[in-house]
Structure 1
Amino acid sequence: MKTRIKKFLSLTIPLLIGLGIIYYQYTTLSSDELEKIKISFVKADYFYIYLSLFIALFGFWSRAYRWKFALQHLGYNTKFHNDLLTVCVSYLINLTIPRSGEISRAALLKKYEGVPFDKAFGTIVAERIVDMLIFLLFVAIGFLLQFDTIYQYLLKNGVQFETLIGLLVAGFILFILFILIWIYAEWSIILKLKQKLSGLIEGMESILKMKDKWKYIFHSFFIWFSYLAMFYITIFALPETAEISFDIVVMGFIFGTIAIGFTNGGLGAYPLAVASILSLYGISEGVGTAFGYLIWVSQTLLTIFLGLLSYLLLPLLNKK
Protein backbone atom coordinates (compact mmCIF):
# COMPACT_ATOMS: atom_id res chain seq x y z
CA MET A 1 0.00 0.00 0.00
CA LYS A 2 2.82 2.40 0.92
CA THR A 3 4.61 1.57 -2.36
CA ARG A 4 1.50 2.43 -4.38
CA ILE A 5 1.08 5.72 -2.53
CA LYS A 6 4.76 6.56 -3.08
CA LYS A 7 4.49 5.81 -6.82
CA PHE A 8 1.28 7.84 -7.06
CA LEU A 9 2.85 10.83 -5.34
CA SER A 10 6.07 10.64 -7.36
CA LEU A 11 3.95 10.79 -10.52
CA THR A 12 1.36 13.37 -9.51
CA ILE A 13 3.45 15.89 -7.54
CA PRO A 14 5.84 16.77 -10.43
CA LEU A 15 2.84 16.78 -12.79
CA LEU A 16 0.91 19.18 -10.57
CA ILE A 17 3.96 21.42 -10.24
CA GLY A 18 4.32 21.50 -14.04
CA LEU A 19 0.64 22.29 -14.57
CA GLY A 20 0.85 24.93 -11.85
CA ILE A 21 3.77 26.61 -13.62
CA ILE A 22 1.84 26.63 -16.92
CA TYR A 23 -1.19 28.16 -15.17
CA TYR A 24 1.06 30.74 -13.48
CA GLN A 25 2.61 31.74 -16.78
CA TYR A 26 -0.77 31.99 -18.50
CA THR A 27 -2.28 34.17 -15.78
CA THR A 28 0.76 36.47 -15.34
CA LEU A 29 1.59 37.10 -19.00
CA SER A 30 -0.08 40.15 -20.52
CA SER A 31 -2.41 39.82 -23.49
CA ASP A 32 0.35 41.27 -25.70
CA GLU A 33 2.83 38.63 -24.53
CA LEU A 34 0.30 35.84 -25.07
CA GLU A 35 -0.28 37.18 -28.58
CA LYS A 36 3.49 37.13 -29.18
CA ILE A 37 3.55 33.46 -28.23
CA LYS A 38 0.83 32.66 -30.78
CA ILE A 39 2.55 34.67 -33.51
CA SER A 40 5.91 33.07 -32.73
CA PHE A 41 4.49 29.57 -33.19
CA VAL A 42 2.90 30.57 -36.50
CA LYS A 43 5.89 32.36 -38.03
CA ALA A 44 8.59 30.00 -36.69
CA ASP A 45 10.88 28.45 -39.30
CA TYR A 46 10.25 24.77 -38.60
CA PHE A 47 13.18 23.68 -40.74
CA TYR A 48 15.42 24.41 -37.75
CA ILE A 49 13.08 22.52 -35.43
CA TYR A 50 13.28 19.44 -37.65
CA LEU A 51 17.06 19.86 -37.89
CA SER A 52 17.32 19.90 -34.10
CA LEU A 53 15.27 16.69 -33.93
CA PHE A 54 17.61 15.10 -36.46
CA ILE A 55 20.57 16.02 -34.25
CA ALA A 56 18.71 14.52 -31.28
CA LEU A 57 18.79 11.13 -33.00
CA PHE A 58 22.59 11.18 -32.82
CA GLY A 59 22.31 11.75 -29.07
CA PHE A 60 20.11 8.66 -28.66
CA TRP A 61 22.48 6.60 -30.81
CA SER A 62 25.59 7.79 -28.98
CA ARG A 63 24.10 7.07 -25.54
CA ALA A 64 23.30 3.51 -26.56
CA TYR A 65 26.72 3.05 -28.17
CA ARG A 66 28.47 4.38 -25.05
CA TRP A 67 26.52 1.95 -22.88
CA LYS A 68 27.83 -0.95 -24.93
CA PHE A 69 31.44 -0.26 -23.83
CA ALA A 70 30.55 -0.58 -20.13
CA LEU A 71 28.49 -3.73 -20.70
CA GLN A 72 31.26 -5.35 -22.74
CA HIS A 73 33.73 -4.69 -19.95
CA LEU A 74 31.45 -6.67 -17.64
CA GLY A 75 31.41 -9.52 -20.14
CA TYR A 76 28.02 -8.93 -21.76
CA ASN A 77 27.92 -8.59 -25.56
CA THR A 78 24.44 -7.19 -26.00
CA LYS A 79 22.74 -6.51 -29.31
CA PHE A 80 23.01 -2.84 -30.23
CA HIS A 81 19.37 -2.56 -31.27
CA ASN A 82 18.33 -3.72 -27.78
CA ASP A 83 20.62 -1.14 -26.18
CA LEU A 84 19.19 1.61 -28.38
CA LEU A 85 15.55 0.62 -27.97
CA THR A 86 15.81 0.35 -24.17
CA VAL A 87 17.43 3.81 -24.08
CA CYS A 88 14.51 5.23 -26.08
CA VAL A 89 11.98 3.58 -23.77
CA SER A 90 13.80 4.95 -20.71
CA TYR A 91 13.48 8.51 -22.07
CA LEU A 92 9.74 7.94 -22.48
CA ILE A 93 9.38 6.56 -18.93
CA ASN A 94 11.23 9.60 -17.57
CA LEU A 95 8.36 11.75 -18.85
CA THR A 96 6.10 10.11 -16.25
CA ILE A 97 8.21 9.78 -13.09
CA PRO A 98 11.50 11.72 -13.18
CA ARG A 99 14.57 9.41 -13.31
CA SER A 100 12.40 6.25 -13.29
CA GLY A 101 13.59 5.49 -16.82
CA GLU A 102 16.95 4.29 -15.52
CA ILE A 103 15.24 1.49 -13.59
CA SER A 104 13.12 0.45 -16.58
CA ARG A 105 16.20 0.51 -18.81
CA ALA A 106 18.09 -1.94 -16.60
CA ALA A 107 14.97 -4.11 -16.21
CA LEU A 108 14.40 -4.29 -19.98
CA LEU A 109 18.03 -5.23 -20.61
CA LYS A 110 17.73 -8.02 -18.05
CA LYS A 111 14.59 -9.24 -19.79
CA TYR A 112 15.94 -9.21 -23.35
CA GLU A 113 19.70 -9.72 -22.83
CA GLY A 114 19.96 -11.47 -19.47
CA VAL A 115 22.23 -8.83 -17.93
CA PRO A 116 21.78 -8.85 -14.11
CA PHE A 117 19.74 -5.86 -13.02
CA ASP A 118 22.22 -4.58 -10.44
CA LYS A 119 25.15 -4.63 -12.89
CA ALA A 120 23.17 -2.97 -15.68
CA PHE A 121 21.88 -0.38 -13.25
CA GLY A 122 25.42 0.19 -11.99
CA THR A 123 26.59 1.11 -15.50
CA ILE A 124 23.64 3.50 -15.80
CA VAL A 125 24.48 5.16 -12.48
CA ALA A 126 28.07 5.49 -13.72
CA GLU A 127 26.73 7.20 -16.85
CA ARG A 128 24.77 9.65 -14.73
CA ILE A 129 27.86 10.50 -12.69
CA VAL A 130 29.86 11.16 -15.87
CA ASP A 131 26.96 13.17 -17.32
CA MET A 132 26.74 15.23 -14.14
CA LEU A 133 30.47 16.03 -14.26
CA ILE A 134 30.26 17.12 -17.90
CA PHE A 135 27.17 19.21 -17.18
CA LEU A 136 28.98 20.87 -14.27
CA LEU A 137 31.73 21.74 -16.74
CA PHE A 138 29.13 23.46 -18.92
CA VAL A 139 27.81 25.26 -15.83
CA ALA A 140 31.29 26.47 -14.88
CA ILE A 141 31.97 27.74 -18.41
CA GLY A 142 28.56 29.42 -18.64
CA PHE A 143 28.87 31.15 -15.29
CA LEU A 144 32.38 32.36 -16.07
CA LEU A 145 31.18 33.83 -19.38
CA GLN A 146 28.18 35.51 -17.78
CA PHE A 147 29.44 36.20 -14.26
CA ASP A 148 28.59 39.92 -14.22
CA THR A 149 25.05 39.43 -15.50
CA ILE A 150 24.32 36.61 -13.04
CA TYR A 151 25.85 38.47 -10.11
CA GLN A 152 23.72 41.56 -10.78
CA TYR A 153 20.61 39.40 -11.16
CA LEU A 154 21.24 37.68 -7.80
CA LEU A 155 21.78 41.01 -6.05
CA LYS A 156 18.63 42.42 -7.61
CA ASN A 157 16.61 39.49 -6.23
CA GLY A 158 18.12 39.66 -2.75
CA VAL A 159 20.37 36.60 -3.08
CA GLN A 160 23.88 37.06 -1.75
CA PHE A 161 26.48 35.45 -3.98
CA GLU A 162 28.61 34.71 -0.92
CA THR A 163 25.77 32.57 0.46
CA LEU A 164 25.75 30.42 -2.68
CA ILE A 165 29.52 30.00 -2.51
CA GLY A 166 29.24 28.94 1.13
CA LEU A 167 26.60 26.34 0.27
CA LEU A 168 28.74 24.96 -2.56
CA VAL A 169 31.80 24.69 -0.30
CA ALA A 170 29.76 23.00 2.45
CA GLY A 171 28.30 20.55 -0.07
CA PHE A 172 31.75 19.75 -1.44
CA ILE A 173 33.13 19.09 2.06
CA LEU A 174 30.22 16.79 2.89
CA PHE A 175 30.75 14.92 -0.38
CA ILE A 176 34.47 14.39 0.35
CA LEU A 177 33.60 13.26 3.90
CA PHE A 178 31.11 10.73 2.55
CA ILE A 179 33.70 9.34 0.10
CA LEU A 180 36.30 8.95 2.87
CA ILE A 181 33.81 7.19 5.15
CA TRP A 182 32.75 4.89 2.31
CA ILE A 183 36.34 3.92 1.47
CA TYR A 184 37.93 3.62 4.91
CA ALA A 185 35.16 3.06 7.48
CA GLU A 186 34.81 -0.47 8.90
CA TRP A 187 31.35 0.11 10.32
CA SER A 188 29.04 -2.88 9.97
CA ILE A 189 26.34 -0.83 8.24
CA ILE A 190 28.84 0.37 5.62
CA LEU A 191 30.16 -3.17 5.03
CA LYS A 192 26.63 -4.56 4.64
CA LEU A 193 25.74 -1.77 2.25
CA LYS A 194 28.87 -2.45 0.18
CA GLN A 195 27.93 -6.12 -0.04
CA LYS A 196 24.40 -5.36 -1.20
CA LEU A 197 25.65 -2.83 -3.73
CA SER A 198 28.52 -4.96 -5.04
CA GLY A 199 26.97 -5.36 -8.49
CA LEU A 200 26.17 -1.66 -8.61
CA ILE A 201 29.72 -0.72 -7.64
CA GLU A 202 31.15 -3.11 -10.23
CA GLY A 203 29.13 -1.37 -12.93
CA MET A 204 30.34 2.04 -11.80
CA GLU A 205 33.98 0.94 -11.61
CA SER A 206 33.79 -0.44 -15.14
CA ILE A 207 34.47 3.03 -16.58
CA LEU A 208 37.91 3.30 -14.97
CA LYS A 209 38.91 -0.25 -15.86
CA MET A 210 37.35 -0.73 -19.28
CA LYS A 211 39.50 -1.18 -22.36
CA ASP A 212 37.62 1.44 -24.40
CA LYS A 213 37.37 4.13 -21.70
CA TRP A 214 38.58 6.88 -24.05
CA LYS A 215 35.86 6.00 -26.57
CA TYR A 216 33.41 6.01 -23.66
CA ILE A 217 34.57 9.49 -22.64
CA PHE A 218 34.39 10.72 -26.25
CA HIS A 219 30.77 9.61 -26.57
CA SER A 220 29.99 11.18 -23.18
CA PHE A 221 31.09 14.58 -24.48
CA PHE A 222 29.46 13.95 -27.87
CA ILE A 223 26.10 13.33 -26.18
CA TRP A 224 26.22 16.67 -24.39
CA PHE A 225 27.43 18.56 -27.42
CA SER A 226 24.50 17.08 -29.35
CA TYR A 227 22.15 18.38 -26.62
CA LEU A 228 23.72 21.83 -26.86
CA ALA A 229 23.60 21.74 -30.67
CA MET A 230 19.88 20.87 -30.54
CA PHE A 231 19.27 23.92 -28.38
CA TYR A 232 21.52 26.18 -30.46
CA ILE A 233 19.98 25.24 -33.82
CA THR A 234 16.51 26.13 -32.54
CA ILE A 235 17.39 29.81 -31.96
CA PHE A 236 17.27 30.32 -35.74
CA ALA A 237 13.60 29.28 -35.80
CA LEU A 238 12.58 32.73 -34.52
CA PRO A 239 13.92 36.06 -35.84
CA GLU A 240 13.96 37.54 -32.30
CA THR A 241 16.33 34.83 -31.03
CA ALA A 242 18.40 34.27 -34.17
CA GLU A 243 20.95 36.93 -33.23
CA ILE A 244 21.61 36.00 -29.59
CA SER A 245 25.23 35.17 -28.81
CA PHE A 246 26.54 31.70 -28.08
CA ASP A 247 27.27 32.42 -24.41
CA ILE A 248 23.60 33.33 -23.90
CA VAL A 249 22.65 30.09 -25.62
CA VAL A 250 24.83 28.20 -23.14
CA MET A 251 23.09 29.86 -20.18
CA GLY A 252 19.63 29.06 -21.59
CA PHE A 253 20.73 25.48 -22.17
CA ILE A 254 22.06 25.15 -18.60
CA PHE A 255 18.95 26.44 -16.85
CA GLY A 256 16.64 24.54 -19.20
CA THR A 257 18.50 21.31 -18.39
CA ILE A 258 18.24 21.97 -14.65
CA ALA A 259 14.50 22.63 -14.97
CA ILE A 260 13.86 19.23 -16.58
CA GLY A 261 14.40 17.49 -13.24
CA PHE A 262 11.73 19.49 -11.41
CA THR A 263 8.67 18.25 -13.31
CA ASN A 264 7.67 15.43 -15.65
CA GLY A 265 10.15 15.90 -18.49
CA GLY A 266 10.35 19.62 -17.75
CA LEU A 267 6.61 20.24 -18.18
CA GLY A 268 6.09 23.97 -17.66
CA ALA A 269 9.42 24.35 -15.87
CA TYR A 270 11.59 24.12 -18.99
CA PRO A 271 9.93 26.96 -20.97
CA LEU A 272 9.77 29.11 -17.83
CA ALA A 273 13.48 28.64 -17.10
CA VAL A 274 14.50 29.38 -20.70
CA ALA A 275 12.23 32.44 -20.91
CA SER A 276 13.57 33.76 -17.59
CA ILE A 277 17.18 33.55 -18.79
CA LEU A 278 16.46 35.09 -22.20
CA SER A 279 14.57 37.95 -20.53
CA LEU A 280 17.85 38.97 -18.87
CA TYR A 281 19.21 39.70 -22.33
CA GLY A 282 16.35 41.72 -23.74
CA ILE A 283 14.19 38.94 -25.21
CA SER A 284 10.53 39.57 -24.37
CA GLU A 285 8.91 37.06 -22.04
CA GLY A 286 6.37 36.08 -24.69
CA VAL A 287 9.01 35.29 -27.31
CA GLY A 288 11.22 33.56 -24.73
CA THR A 289 8.30 31.42 -23.57
CA ALA A 290 7.41 30.53 -27.17
CA PHE A 291 11.05 29.60 -27.83
CA GLY A 292 11.10 27.38 -24.74
CA TYR A 293 7.90 25.64 -25.77
CA LEU A 294 9.13 25.14 -29.34
CA ILE A 295 12.10 23.20 -27.99
CA TRP A 296 10.19 21.37 -25.27
CA VAL A 297 7.18 20.32 -27.37
CA SER A 298 9.27 19.13 -30.33
CA GLN A 299 11.69 17.15 -28.17
CA THR A 300 8.86 15.68 -26.07
CA LEU A 301 6.95 14.55 -29.17
CA LEU A 302 10.11 12.93 -30.53
CA THR A 303 10.69 11.19 -27.18
CA ILE A 304 7.13 9.87 -27.09
CA PHE A 305 7.30 8.66 -30.70
CA LEU A 306 10.66 6.89 -30.31
CA GLY A 307 9.71 5.49 -26.91
CA LEU A 308 6.43 3.97 -28.07
CA LEU A 309 8.00 2.66 -31.28
CA SER A 310 10.86 1.08 -29.31
CA TYR A 311 8.45 -0.47 -26.81
CA LEU A 312 6.61 -2.15 -29.70
CA LEU A 313 9.79 -3.23 -31.50
CA LEU A 314 11.54 -4.81 -28.51
CA PRO A 315 9.35 -7.94 -28.27
CA LEU A 316 9.13 -8.23 -32.07
CA LEU A 317 12.91 -8.17 -32.56
CA ASN A 318 13.51 -10.58 -29.68
CA LYS A 319 11.17 -13.39 -30.66
CA LYS A 320 12.73 -16.76 -29.94
Structure 2
Amino acid sequence: MARIFYVNGDWLPESEAKVSVLDRGFLMADAIYEVTCVLDGKLVEYANHAARLQRSARELGLRIPLDEAGLLAVHREITARNQLDQGMIYLQLTRGVADRDFAYPPEETPPTLVLFTQAKNVLENHAAEVGISVALLPDLRWGRRDIKTIQLLYPSMAKMEAKSRGADDAWLVEDGHVTEACAASAHIVSAEGALVTRDLSHALLPGITRASVLELAAARGIRIEERAFTPDEAKSAREAFITSATNFVVPVTRIDGVQIGDGRPGDLTRDLRKLYIDTRRAAAV
Protein backbone atom coordinates (compact mmCIF):
# COMPACT_ATOMS: atom_id res chain seq x y z
CA MET A 1 0.00 0.00 0.00
CA ALA A 2 1.37 3.43 -0.97
CA ARG A 3 1.97 5.66 2.03
CA ILE A 4 -0.24 8.67 2.64
CA PHE A 5 1.55 11.86 3.71
CA TYR A 6 0.21 14.94 5.48
CA VAL A 7 1.40 18.18 3.86
CA ASN A 8 0.02 21.49 5.13
CA GLY A 9 -3.49 20.19 5.69
CA ASP A 10 -3.65 17.89 2.67
CA TRP A 11 -3.54 14.09 2.60
CA LEU A 12 -1.45 13.02 -0.37
CA PRO A 13 0.07 9.83 -1.78
CA GLU A 14 3.86 9.75 -1.49
CA SER A 15 4.29 10.50 -5.20
CA GLU A 16 2.40 13.81 -4.80
CA ALA A 17 3.76 14.89 -1.42
CA LYS A 18 6.06 17.84 -2.18
CA VAL A 19 7.30 21.10 -0.70
CA SER A 20 8.77 24.14 -2.43
CA VAL A 21 12.46 24.36 -3.37
CA LEU A 22 12.34 27.73 -1.57
CA ASP A 23 11.26 26.16 1.71
CA ARG A 24 13.64 27.26 4.45
CA GLY A 25 13.91 23.72 5.70
CA PHE A 26 15.52 22.83 2.36
CA LEU A 27 17.56 26.01 1.99
CA MET A 28 18.69 26.70 5.56
CA ALA A 29 17.82 23.62 7.68
CA ASP A 30 15.47 26.08 9.41
CA ALA A 31 13.23 23.37 10.83
CA ILE A 32 12.55 21.01 13.70
CA TYR A 33 11.19 17.49 13.88
CA GLU A 34 9.75 14.88 16.22
CA VAL A 35 9.42 11.10 16.05
CA THR A 36 6.59 9.28 17.81
CA CYS A 37 6.60 5.51 18.06
CA VAL A 38 3.45 3.54 17.26
CA LEU A 39 2.61 0.24 18.95
CA ASP A 40 -0.64 -1.63 18.39
CA GLY A 41 -1.78 1.33 16.30
CA LYS A 42 -1.41 3.66 19.30
CA LEU A 43 0.95 6.56 20.03
CA VAL A 44 3.72 5.91 22.57
CA GLU A 45 4.59 8.79 24.93
CA TYR A 46 2.77 11.19 22.61
CA ALA A 47 2.19 13.93 25.20
CA ASN A 48 5.90 14.17 25.96
CA HIS A 49 6.86 14.31 22.29
CA ALA A 50 4.25 17.01 21.67
CA ALA A 51 5.60 19.00 24.62
CA ARG A 52 9.17 18.76 23.29
CA LEU A 53 7.96 19.89 19.87
CA GLN A 54 6.41 22.95 21.48
CA ARG A 55 9.67 23.69 23.30
CA SER A 56 11.77 23.35 20.13
CA ALA A 57 9.35 25.65 18.29
CA ARG A 58 9.54 28.28 21.05
CA GLU A 59 13.34 28.21 21.09
CA LEU A 60 13.47 28.97 17.35
CA GLY A 61 10.42 31.20 17.13
CA LEU A 62 8.54 28.76 14.90
CA ARG A 63 4.76 28.69 14.73
CA ILE A 64 2.95 25.36 14.88
CA PRO A 65 -0.12 25.71 12.62
CA LEU A 66 -2.26 23.24 14.60
CA ASP A 67 -3.48 23.48 18.17
CA GLU A 68 -2.93 20.67 20.67
CA ALA A 69 -6.09 18.78 19.76
CA GLY A 70 -5.49 19.22 16.03
CA LEU A 71 -1.95 17.89 16.25
CA LEU A 72 -3.10 14.78 18.10
CA ALA A 73 -5.90 14.26 15.58
CA VAL A 74 -3.42 14.39 12.68
CA HIS A 75 -1.19 11.81 14.36
CA ARG A 76 -4.14 9.49 14.85
CA GLU A 77 -5.41 10.07 11.33
CA ILE A 78 -2.07 9.34 9.65
CA THR A 79 -1.78 6.16 11.73
CA ALA A 80 -5.23 5.05 10.53
CA ARG A 81 -4.74 6.06 6.88
CA ASN A 82 -1.50 4.10 6.67
CA GLN A 83 -2.83 1.17 8.72
CA LEU A 84 0.26 1.48 10.91
CA ASP A 85 0.42 -1.14 13.64
CA GLN A 86 4.12 -0.78 14.53
CA GLY A 87 6.54 1.89 13.43
CA MET A 88 7.13 5.61 13.59
CA ILE A 89 5.49 8.91 12.71
CA TYR A 90 7.92 11.61 11.62
CA LEU A 91 6.83 15.24 11.90
CA GLN A 92 8.81 18.08 10.33
CA LEU A 93 8.02 21.76 10.81
CA THR A 94 9.82 24.49 8.86
CA ARG A 95 9.63 28.27 8.92
CA GLY A 96 7.98 28.11 5.51
CA VAL A 97 8.62 29.31 1.97
CA ALA A 98 10.56 32.52 1.35
CA ASP A 99 13.20 33.82 -1.03
CA ARG A 100 16.70 32.80 0.11
CA ASP A 101 17.95 35.10 2.87
CA PHE A 102 19.76 34.58 6.17
CA ALA A 103 17.22 36.87 7.83
CA TYR A 104 13.92 35.26 8.82
CA PRO A 105 10.92 36.04 6.61
CA PRO A 106 7.99 38.00 8.07
CA GLU A 107 6.26 36.36 11.03
CA GLU A 108 3.05 35.91 9.03
CA THR A 109 4.82 33.56 6.58
CA PRO A 110 2.89 30.27 6.70
CA PRO A 111 4.99 27.45 8.19
CA THR A 112 5.35 24.09 6.45
CA LEU A 113 4.11 21.04 8.36
CA VAL A 114 4.73 17.53 7.03
CA LEU A 115 4.03 14.15 8.62
CA PHE A 116 4.82 10.70 7.27
CA THR A 117 5.03 7.16 8.61
CA GLN A 118 7.58 4.36 8.53
CA ALA A 119 6.49 0.82 9.26
CA LYS A 120 8.96 -1.09 11.45
CA ASN A 121 8.73 -4.04 13.83
CA VAL A 122 10.07 -2.11 16.81
CA LEU A 123 9.45 -4.92 19.28
CA GLU A 124 11.65 -7.49 17.53
CA ASN A 125 15.06 -5.85 17.54
CA HIS A 126 18.05 -8.15 17.08
CA ALA A 127 20.37 -5.48 18.47
CA ALA A 128 18.46 -5.58 21.75
CA GLU A 129 19.25 -9.28 22.05
CA VAL A 130 22.97 -9.19 21.21
CA GLY A 131 23.99 -5.56 21.82
CA ILE A 132 25.71 -3.06 19.58
CA SER A 133 29.25 -1.74 19.26
CA VAL A 134 30.05 1.97 19.23
CA ALA A 135 33.02 4.01 18.10
CA LEU A 136 34.08 7.16 19.93
CA LEU A 137 34.16 10.24 17.70
CA PRO A 138 34.48 13.99 18.31
CA ASP A 139 31.23 15.89 18.74
CA LEU A 140 31.35 18.58 16.05
CA ARG A 141 27.66 19.52 16.01
CA TRP A 142 26.31 23.01 16.63
CA GLY A 143 25.90 24.27 20.18
CA ARG A 144 22.10 24.02 20.62
CA ARG A 145 21.66 20.27 20.55
CA ASP A 146 18.81 20.57 23.04
CA ILE A 147 16.62 21.72 20.13
CA LYS A 148 15.49 18.85 17.89
CA THR A 149 16.42 20.42 14.56
CA ILE A 150 16.82 18.72 11.20
CA GLN A 151 20.55 19.57 11.17
CA LEU A 152 21.56 15.92 10.98
CA LEU A 153 24.50 15.96 8.57
CA TYR A 154 27.23 15.52 11.16
CA PRO A 155 25.42 12.70 12.99
CA SER A 156 25.05 11.01 9.59
CA MET A 157 28.77 11.48 8.93
CA ALA A 158 29.60 10.10 12.38
CA LYS A 159 27.36 7.10 11.79
CA MET A 160 29.14 6.33 8.52
CA GLU A 161 32.57 6.78 10.10
CA ALA A 162 31.58 4.40 12.88
CA LYS A 163 30.45 1.84 10.32
CA SER A 164 33.74 2.21 8.45
CA ARG A 165 35.44 1.23 11.70
CA GLY A 166 33.28 -1.86 12.05
CA ALA A 167 30.98 -0.39 14.69
CA ASP A 168 27.20 -0.02 14.65
CA ASP A 169 26.98 3.54 15.95
CA ALA A 170 29.04 6.39 17.41
CA TRP A 171 29.21 7.94 20.85
CA LEU A 172 30.19 11.57 20.51
CA VAL A 173 32.82 13.10 22.77
CA GLU A 174 33.32 16.77 23.67
CA ASP A 175 35.82 18.21 26.17
CA GLY A 176 36.76 14.71 27.25
CA HIS A 177 33.22 13.56 28.05
CA VAL A 178 30.53 11.61 26.19
CA THR A 179 27.54 13.69 25.09
CA GLU A 180 25.25 11.23 23.30
CA ALA A 181 24.99 8.82 20.37
CA CYS A 182 24.21 9.87 16.79
CA ALA A 183 20.46 9.72 17.47
CA ALA A 184 20.10 8.42 21.01
CA SER A 185 20.97 9.09 24.64
CA ALA A 186 24.02 7.33 26.10
CA HIS A 187 24.03 5.59 29.48
CA ILE A 188 26.37 3.45 31.56
CA VAL A 189 26.00 1.37 34.71
CA SER A 190 28.92 1.86 37.05
CA ALA A 191 30.76 -0.91 38.89
CA GLU A 192 28.76 0.12 41.97
CA GLY A 193 25.46 -0.32 40.12
CA ALA A 194 24.57 3.35 39.60
CA LEU A 195 22.89 4.38 36.35
CA VAL A 196 24.99 7.25 34.97
CA THR A 197 23.80 9.52 32.18
CA ARG A 198 24.81 12.97 31.02
CA ASP A 199 22.96 15.82 32.74
CA LEU A 200 20.74 17.96 30.54
CA SER A 201 22.13 21.13 28.96
CA HIS A 202 22.53 22.68 25.52
CA ALA A 203 25.02 19.88 24.79
CA LEU A 204 22.42 17.17 24.23
CA LEU A 205 18.80 16.48 23.44
CA PRO A 206 16.41 15.97 26.36
CA GLY A 207 15.43 12.45 25.31
CA ILE A 208 11.85 11.39 26.00
CA THR A 209 12.84 7.74 26.42
CA ARG A 210 15.83 8.83 28.51
CA ALA A 211 13.55 10.58 31.00
CA SER A 212 11.17 7.62 31.23
CA VAL A 213 13.97 5.10 31.75
CA LEU A 214 15.47 7.22 34.53
CA GLU A 215 12.05 7.41 36.16
CA LEU A 216 11.58 3.64 35.92
CA ALA A 217 15.06 2.95 37.26
CA ALA A 218 14.59 5.32 40.20
CA ALA A 219 11.29 3.63 41.05
CA ARG A 220 13.17 0.34 41.29
CA GLY A 221 15.64 1.83 43.74
CA ILE A 222 18.50 2.22 41.25
CA ARG A 223 20.79 5.12 42.11
CA ILE A 224 20.79 7.73 39.34
CA GLU A 225 23.78 9.96 38.65
CA GLU A 226 23.07 12.68 36.09
CA ARG A 227 26.58 13.83 35.24
CA ALA A 228 29.15 13.77 32.49
CA PHE A 229 31.24 10.61 32.15
CA THR A 230 34.49 9.95 30.31
CA PRO A 231 35.21 7.40 27.58
CA ASP A 232 37.49 5.50 29.97
CA GLU A 233 34.71 5.36 32.56
CA ALA A 234 32.37 4.02 29.90
CA LYS A 235 34.83 1.34 28.83
CA SER A 236 35.18 0.11 32.40
CA ALA A 237 31.43 0.19 33.12
CA ARG A 238 29.43 -2.86 34.20
CA GLU A 239 26.85 -2.18 31.47
CA ALA A 240 26.19 0.41 28.77
CA PHE A 241 23.12 1.17 26.67
CA ILE A 242 21.34 3.71 24.51
CA THR A 243 17.75 4.93 24.62
CA SER A 244 15.60 6.41 21.86
CA ALA A 245 11.99 6.62 20.78
CA THR A 246 12.44 4.12 17.95
CA ASN A 247 14.75 1.63 19.67
CA PHE A 248 13.62 1.96 23.31
CA VAL A 249 16.58 0.50 25.25
CA VAL A 250 19.45 -1.20 23.40
CA PRO A 251 22.59 -2.57 25.09
CA VAL A 252 26.09 -1.47 24.10
CA THR A 253 28.55 -4.35 24.42
CA ARG A 254 31.72 -2.85 22.88
CA ILE A 255 33.15 0.68 22.90
CA ASP A 256 36.08 1.32 20.56
CA GLY A 257 36.67 -2.43 20.51
CA VAL A 258 36.72 -2.75 24.30
CA GLN A 259 34.30 -5.32 25.70
CA ILE A 260 31.79 -3.96 28.22
CA GLY A 261 31.26 -6.26 31.19
CA ASP A 262 31.13 -9.85 30.01
CA GLY A 263 30.36 -8.76 26.44
CA ARG A 264 26.66 -9.59 26.71
CA PRO A 265 23.62 -7.38 27.34
CA GLY A 266 23.45 -6.64 31.05
CA ASP A 267 20.64 -7.64 33.37
CA LEU A 268 19.64 -4.07 34.23
CA THR A 269 19.58 -3.08 30.58
CA ARG A 270 17.36 -6.03 29.71
CA ASP A 271 15.05 -5.33 32.66
CA LEU A 272 14.70 -1.64 31.78
CA ARG A 273 13.90 -2.46 28.15
CA LYS A 274 11.12 -4.84 29.15
CA LEU A 275 9.79 -2.47 31.80
CA TYR A 276 9.80 0.45 29.39
CA ILE A 277 7.96 -1.46 26.67
CA ASP A 278 5.39 -2.92 29.05
CA THR A 279 4.56 0.36 30.82
CA ARG A 280 4.62 2.67 27.80
CA ARG A 281 2.75 0.23 25.60
CA ALA A 282 -0.02 -0.01 28.21
CA ALA A 283 -0.24 3.81 28.43
CA ALA A 284 -0.15 4.47 24.67
CA VAL A 285 -2.95 6.58 23.20
Shorter-chain TM-score above 0.5: no
Larger strand proportion of the pair: 2
Larger helix proportion of the pair: 1
Q: Which interval holds the TM-score relative to the shorter structure?
A: 0.3 to 0.5
- Work out which structure has the larger RCO, using CA pairs closer than 8 Å and 6 or more positions apart in sequence: 1
Structure of higher CA gyration radius: 1
